[in-house]
């Protein structure tokens, strides 16, 4: 453990400083467990004890130095945006009581605020000045305790227990499905077949929600055996490893969860007429592929296709995500949490291993 950043000064009166997982954004190899002061009251009226943090591709990008911003005036950021915690203190009338299982919302509206942020649709922030806990200019949740405003806290059904750590990714997926259904409303849209590209946590949760909507769901990924194909078939969905062209049907909906450029264009070319392709994977860029842009344009125009990007989630999506998790088979959800790692062994959590779906850091 280290206290290497001047910006985290632990008061001498605090005999046991709080531990947090921190990183210097932009600097690879800077992730460490740091002693930090108790969370500031300015972060909110509710005090939460962190139980678990889910690791996602964004965290791996942040620790590799490719993404992330520290809070103003500091060089270290507490990471962790997928969380599960237990309320320690909450004022009367806040809607929360000690012991409640909770998840913190990631994004905060920009200070202007833009029209969307002012309306609670911060996931559609238009000026880019939003902040995100654990990602952009605001400490995350991977500390022993954190404070938060009640309006950015979501209660988790106690029956879900540790599975509540899946709520943040589930909210991102619920938003993606909302984009698909609201875009579909431009005309008669009764999708039957959905394709999900990528069998990571986002893809598997997208497949779960697609099945809950009664769709015939296909999931495509590179691996040919192991946990991912098993998870897909136990959902009642079909696992597919070949090219999109070899699917038995043209999908009405595609939820793209890999960010792989060639898959995005394959999906654009092979989606059914009137279909909606929702992009959720953030590509790293720098990889060029040859695309027949005229053909893509021609297909999209002549077949009324839509490509929609989707990021983050607002409160409505957290609520929809919570509902989807509550309806799901908890034994299936448990299988998504493939590794549980203690905070001290955080390095293990960031190492990708075969058959990893969701790695969880336990505090
Ligand atoms: C998070 C989103 C966030 C996005 C971009 C994702 O990993 O789940 O909440 O908006 O990264 O920073």
User: Residues 6 or more apart from 282 whose CB is under 8 A from it?
Assistant: 57, 58, 259, 311
Q: Which atom of ligand 1 is nearest to the CA of 136?
A: 12
pLDDT for residue 285: 79
Q: Is 202 in the pocket of ligand 1 (CB under 6 A)?
A: no
CA distance 203 to 176: 11
Helices 227-234 and 201-212 pack at an angle, to 10 degrees, of 10
For the chain, report the end-to-end CA distance as a whole number of angstroms.
15
Which regions of the chain carry the CATH code 3.40.50.720? Answer: 171-309
Q: Are 54 and 41 in contact (CB under 8 A)?
A: no
The model's pLDDT over 181-190, given as tens digits with 9 standing for 90+, comes to 999 999 999 9
Between the alpha carbon of residue 206 and those of residues 164, 172, 177, 210, the distances in Å are 16, 9, 8, 6
Which regions of the chain carry the CATH code 3.90.180.10? Answer: 15-155+336-362
Give the helix/strand (H/E) hosting 238. Answer: strand 238-240
CA distance 350 to 355: 14
Token representation of residue 358: 């969701």
Say how far residue 82 (Cα) sits from the centre of its chain.
7
CA distance 157 to 161: 7
Between the alpha carbon of residue 42 and those of residues 113, 148, 234, the distances in Å are 19, 9, 46
Q: Give distance in angstroms: CA of 197 to centre of ligand 1.
A: 18
Q: Is 311 in the pocket of ligand 1 (CB under 6 A)?
A: yes
pTM assigned to the model = 0.95
CA distance 163 to 48: 17
Between the alpha carbon of residue 274 and those of residues 197, 267, 305, 318, 342, the distances in Å are 19, 13, 5, 28, 47
Q: Where are the beta strands (DSSP E) in 289-336?
A: 306-309
Give the helix/strand (H/E) hosting 210. Answer: helix 201-212
Q: Specify the fold of 171-309.
A: Rossmann fold (3.40.50)
pLDDT for residue 12: 53
Pocket test for ligand 1, best of 135, 136, 315, 317 (most atoms within 8 A of CB): 135
Token representation of residue 124: 């559609």
pLDDT for residue 122: 98
Q: Give distance in angstroms: CA of 317 to centre of ligand 1.
A: 13
Q: Which atom of ligand 1 is nearest to the CA of 59?
A: 7
Helices 261-270 and 293-302 pack at an angle, to 10 degrees, of 40
Q: What is the DSSP string of 15-29?
A: SSPEEEEEE-TT-TT
The model's pLDDT over 213-241, given as tens digits with 9 standing for 90+, comes to 999 999 999 999 999 999 999 999 999 99
pLDDT for residue 7: 65
Q: Which atom of ligand 1 is nearest to the CA of 58?
A: 7
- Does a cis peptide bond (omega within 30 degrees of 0) precede residue 156? no
Which neighbouring-strand residues pair with 86?
Answer: 49, 101
pLDDT tens for the chain, residues 1 to 363:
444 455 676 655 545 689 999 999 999 999 999 999 999 999 999 999 999 999 999 999 999 999 999 999 999 999 999 999 999 999 999 999 999 999 999 999 999 999 999 999 999 999 999 999 999 999 999 999 999 999 999 999 999 999 999 999 999 999 999 999 999 999 999 999 999 999 999 999 999 999 999 999 999 999 999 999 999 999 999 999 989 989 999 999 999 999 999 999 999 999 999 999 999 998 887 888 999 999 999 999 999 999 999 999 999 999 999 999 999 999 999 999 999 999 999 999 999 998 899 999 999
CA distance 124 to 118: 11
pLDDT for residue 354: 86
Q: Specify the fold of 15-155+336-362.
A: Quinone Oxidoreductase; Chain A, domain 1 (3.90.180)
Pocket test for ligand 1, best of 53, 77, 81 (most atoms within 8 A of CB): 81
Q: Is 106 in the pocket of ligand 1 (CB under 6 A)?
A: yes
């Amino acid at each position: 453990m280290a206290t290497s950043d001047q910006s985290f000064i632990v008061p001498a009166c605090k005999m046991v400083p709080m531990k947090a997982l921190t990183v210097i954004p932009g600097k690879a190899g800077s992730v460490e467990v740091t002693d930090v002061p108790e969370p500031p009251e300015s972060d909110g009226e509710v005090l939460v004890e962190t139980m678990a943090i889910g690791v996602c591709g964004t965290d791996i990008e942040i620790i590799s130095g490719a993404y992330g911003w520290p809070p103003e005036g500091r060089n270290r950021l507490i990471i962790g945006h997928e969380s599960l915690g237990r309320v320690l203190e909450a004022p009367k009338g806040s809607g929360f009581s000690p012991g409640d299982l909770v998840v913190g919302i990631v994004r905060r509206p920009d200070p202007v605020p833009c029209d969307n942020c002012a309306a609670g649709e911060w996931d559609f922030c238009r000026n880019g000045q939003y902040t995100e806990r654990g990602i952009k200019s605001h400490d995350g949740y991977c500390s022993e305790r954190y404070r938060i405003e009640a309006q950015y806290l979501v209660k988790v059904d106690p029956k879900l227990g540790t599975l509540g750590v899946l709520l943040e990714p589930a909210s991102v997926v619920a938003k993606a499905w909302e984009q698909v259904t609201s875009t579909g409303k431009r005309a008669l849209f009764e999708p039957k077949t959905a394709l999900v590209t990528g069998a990571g946590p986002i893809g598997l949760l997208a497949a779960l929600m697609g099945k809950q909507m009664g769709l015939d769901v296909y999931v495509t990924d590179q691996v040919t055996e192991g946990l991912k194909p098993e998870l897909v078939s136990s959902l009642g969905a079909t696992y597919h490893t070949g090219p999109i062209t070899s699917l038995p049907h043209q999908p009405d909906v595609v939820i793209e969860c890999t960010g792989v450029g060639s898959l995005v264009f394959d999906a654009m070319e092979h989606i059914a007429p009137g279909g909606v392709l929702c992009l959720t994977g953030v590509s790293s860029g720098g990889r060029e592929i040859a695309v027949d842009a005229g053909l893509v344009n021609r297909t999209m125009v002549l077949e009324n296709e839509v490509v929609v990007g989707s990021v983050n989630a607002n409160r409505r999506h957290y609520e929809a995500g919570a509902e989807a998790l509550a309806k799901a088979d908890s034994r299936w959800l448990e299988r998504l949490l493939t590794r549980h790692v203690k905070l001290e062994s955080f390095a293990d959590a960031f190492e990708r291993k075969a058959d990893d779906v969701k790695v969880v850091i336990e505090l």
